[in-house]
Amino acid sequence: GERGEVRQPLLAALHTSSHLSSPFSHQTMSLYPSLEDFTVDQHAKAAVTASHQAAQAILGVPPAPGTASAGLYSGLGLEELVEYGGLDISQASLVQYMGQDIAARMTPAHTTDNRIAVITKPGDLGMARAAIQQGVHEAVLEKGADGKLGVALNAVDKGVFVAFVWAGSPAARAGLRFGDQILQINGATVAGWTSDKSMKALRSAAGKVSFIVRDRPFERTITTVKDRFNHIGFTLNNGEISALVADSSAARNGLLIHHNLVEVNGQNVVAMKDKDIIQLIQEAPPSVTLTIMPTFMYNHLIKNIGFSTIRKYMDHSVPDL
């Protein structure tokens, strides 16, 4: 009678929605900004998968999205599991099992990939400003009234690299950055050129100068998450990463000693005082993207410039997007 009439549409719904018992099994692999983002998302997905499995086992259909809860997973269909399956997704439980630092930053995600919870928000400005693009591009610089471009080049391993960008100079306005590799100057390939030959080519060029550039091949970016003390977990000694704090975000995400910190959220910090770099990090959002370079390469690039000159005149502005 009435019971049979009710069960038929339920069974039909269960059949048509059976793929929901494993909602992430057919989705492509996500790349995560940090290990903390990975951990958060995996916990969230496990909870969502459990909700579907419990709903099918107990109710016969996937649960309807929740409407009343304002908790972390509101709208993901997990609220019913607290009543039927005993799944504890309260904030207190998240803190107990994941730690205060991560739990406090967990938010539902609205992303274009298959992440459902994030710490580092999609479109994070620090990551965008720090991004190292693959491929090559052209930068056209026009000499200033003083006849200078505001860039110094240094040769390393048969390549030519940007070792200094003067603040407010044509090079700074064109977006050249410390560590960029120069492949051509006015159409001439510079592989094998010395530092002196490279700088002579710039001085002798008239008017506009065309550079073909590969973004910072000796550098890499690491996104970290600050803890409740506003720390990432490393120490600096004249810009060099000298130690890591055990089980810190810096350690978890693969920051290395014997590397120099060259950017914070895309902003150049070369030759800045350690206390100023630390202040910059402390004033940054919870997710901080660090750009690092092996110290041997860093020292090679700056050795002919002069540390005091770099500290005083290097372009430390926030890059445009």
Q: What is the pLDDT of residues 14-40, one digit of tens each?
A: 333 334 444 555 555 678 999 988 888
| pLDDT (mean) for 241-254 | 96
CA–CA dist 128, 80 (Å, integer): 38
Query: Which H, E and C letters describe 277-299, residue by residue?
Result: HHHHHHCCCCEEEEEEEEHHHHH
Lowest mean pLDDT among 75-89, 146-160, 193-207, 229-243: 75-89
Q: How far, CA to CA in Å, does 276 sit from each of 36, 269, 311?
A: 26, 9, 12
pLDDT of residue 1: 41
pLDDT of residue 285: 93
pLDDT of residue 46: 82
DSSP for residue 222: E
CA–CA dist 130, 268 (Å, integer): 10
pTM: 0.76
pLDDT of residue 92: 60
pLDDT of residue 188: 97
| pLDDT (mean) for 110-119 | 67
| pLDDT (mean) for 37-45 | 84
**Residue 259 pLDDT > 80, yes or no?**
yes
User: What's the chain's average pLDDT?
Assistant: 81
CA–CA dist 199, 151 (Å, integer): 9
CA–CA dist 85, 82 (Å, integer): 6
- Spell out where the chain has E strands: 107-108, 117-118, 136-142, 151-156, 159-165, 181-185, 188-189, 208-214, 220-225, 234-237, 240-244, 259-264, 267-268, 287-294
pLDDT of residue 125: 95
Lowest mean pLDDT among 4-8, 201-205, 231-235: 4-8
pLDDT of residue 57: 73
Percent of the chain past pLDDT 70, that is, above it, reads: 73
44 vs 61, which has greater pLDDT? 44
Q: 162-220, pLDDT tens digit by residue?
A: 999 999 999 999 999 999 999 999 999 999 999 999 999 999 998 899 999 999 999 99
**Residue 13 pLDDT > 50, yes or no?**
no
Q: pLDDT band at residue 144, thresholds of 50, 70 and 90?
A: confident
pLDDT of residue 18: 39
CA–CA dist 313, 67 (Å, integer): 56
pLDDT of residue 120: 87
pLDDT of residue 205: 93
Name the β-bridge partners of 161: 154, 181
pLDDT of residue 309: 84
pLDDT of residue 88: 46
Query: Which H, E and C letters describe 133-173, residue by residue?
Result: CCCEEEEEEECCCCCCCCEEEEEECCEEEEEEEECCCHHHH
**Residue 53 pLDDT > 60, yes or no?**
yes
Say if CB 117 and CB 36 are below 8 A apart: no
Say if CB 212 and CB 136 are below 8 A apart: yes
Q: Phi and psi dihedrals of 135, rounded to 5? A: 95, -170
Q: pLDDT band at residue 45, thresholds of 50, 70 and 90?
A: confident
CA–CA dist 84, 60 (Å, integer): 12
